[in-house]
Structure 1
């Protein structure tokens, strides 16, 4: 089946149910074996609980056909709050394969079959969308950061098609103000983009088959995506800044978004990410 507009094959035609089944038959048993191991090391409070999810996600990328390409330098400081755009549940695996960090995620994810359990075992911080919980949630995030934990924040509050970056919600950036010593907190903007399919630039028409947003249903999307091919995911780590880099949370959120947008636009167009984030932000102000 071909796309009427481009005349090229649709993703449905490219997707192989046999390939999707094969990948799942490898991934699911591996996951089910590793789950009780992670539960045990968490219960015993062993240090291995921090890097085991990292090991797990690296193997998952190989099993599921994800090639993760890292650009830029990952902050070595602790604590670091990584701030990124959000495209799909695949982002979790991609970030988990390159970072030893926990996610900040919406509360409903903890009730998802399998994925919710995996999120809990990665020490994910679950947040409610209702504003009456905002103060308590900020305190929980601050406590984790003050304890030296690295966290990953998707401040759009949802996922989108990967062509754009939605406005960043500034509320959670207040952790930079509430941290015991905001000058010790590092904030690193990060751009994620899905750029190639089997080594060929990913057409815009195929992006929705990797992006997961709107009212898409998880299981059909997952099966179709796993049958398409090997996708390249670019993760661009921009220059880190101290938590007190800007005076207000809104300015900090706007700064991070401008940097992330430039990285996403560059990756989607096949260009190199901007070399200097400071110049980039000044130019876009």
Structure 2
């Protein structure tokens, strides 16, 4: 009953915020960056997801967050922490519900297979970061089961290279952020609840959402790693390897209960 009431309230909040967000997008008000964070926080409260933060978001800019990706819930979690813009594959724009929400947050959609469009997409990423927006990249390129880090695709870090200024000794900061689903109703999240934490994609949205709500309160540990400075001439494979190592260490520490606060 509580979950039903909260979902209704979330729907009402969504309908109330959409017209405001559409105006903010049309006139490019700064409010367009802030409203999604409010919505994400209430959505997490509705689902009973508590976010525990370890470390701090890098204060310098331009900043790109490179995070592991297990579920659509990762969007809510990162969106609740800061005013961010996500990079997503073009197919997401056509998804029911998620596609609409992504467009309302002015997600940057990329078509990886069409090189003729990559220039425009790269330019948009660079312009958004130059304007002070924090861009979120999921460099695994797909979702995992939440237990491990898949190999990172170094080509996706081309967005960081694109954000470098054309002249001078500019730098882009890439900060690894590990998302670990660790507890359900205060107990360690075991193998039984892993399908609730992750969303591999072969399960329908509604059954998965029902499972998340039925599971009850869930704790998520979000750990901020050390930002990596990326400069003109730096190797993207080296950047990807550094980020991957940090993500693996941070995720493993939480899943095995070895993290030191």
Using the size of structure 2 for normalisation, the TM-score is 0.91
Q: What residue in structure 2 maps to residue 242 of structure 1?
A: 229
What stretches of structure 2 of length at least 5 have no aligned partner? none
1:160-202 deviation digits (Å, cap 9, x = unpaired): 1001111111112123333333733211011001001111111
Matches within 5 A, 1:37-56: 37-56=20-39
Say which SS state the counterpart of residue 117 (structure 1) adopts. helix
**Of residues 258, 272, 275 in structure 1, which corresponds to 2:245?**
258
In the TM superposition, 1:133-152 aligns within 5 A as 133-152=117-136
Q: Which residue of 2 aligns with 1:92?
A: 75
In structure 2, what is the equivalent of residue 173 of structure 1? 157
Whether 1:270 aligns to 2:242 is no
Distance in 2, Cα, partners of 1:71 & 1:229: 23
Cα shift at 1:237:
0.4
Matched residue pairs, number?
A: 257
The corresponding residue for 1:233 is 220
SS of corresponding position for 2:177: strand
1:192 is matched with which residue?
179
Report the Cα offset of residue 210 of structure 1: 2.2
Shift of 1:245: 9.2
- How far off is 1:218 after superposition? 1.4
SS class of match (1:187): strand
The Cα of 1:46 is off from its aligned counterpart by 1.6
Is 1:224 paired with 2:220? no
| Separation of aligned partners in 1, 2:34 and 2:145 | 30
**C-alpha contact 2:177 2:225 (8 A) present in aligned 1:** yes
Distance 1:98 1:231 in 2: 17
Aligned to 2:46: 63
Deviation digits for residues 92-135 of structure 1, max 9, x if unmatched? Answer: 11111101111011111111222211111111101123152444
Query: Shift of residue 142 of structure 1?
Result: 1.9
State the SS of the aligned residue for 2:231. Answer: coil
SS in 2 for 1:185: strand
Matches within 5 A, 1:68-87: 68-87=51-70
Which ranges in structure 1 are unaligned for 5 or more consecutive residues? 1-17, 276-285
Q: Distance in 1 between matches of 2:203 and 2:226?
A: 34
CA offset digits 1:14-42 (Å, max 9, x no partner): xxxx5553442232222222112211222
Aligned twin of 2:142: 158
Query: TM-score when scaled to structure 1?
Result: 0.84
Q: Distance in 2 between matches of 1:119 and 1:43?
A: 15
8 Å CA contact 2:174, 2:228 repeated in 1: yes
Partner Cα distance (2:141, 2:50) in 1: 25
- Inter-partner Cα distance in structure 1 for 2:177 and 2:242: 12
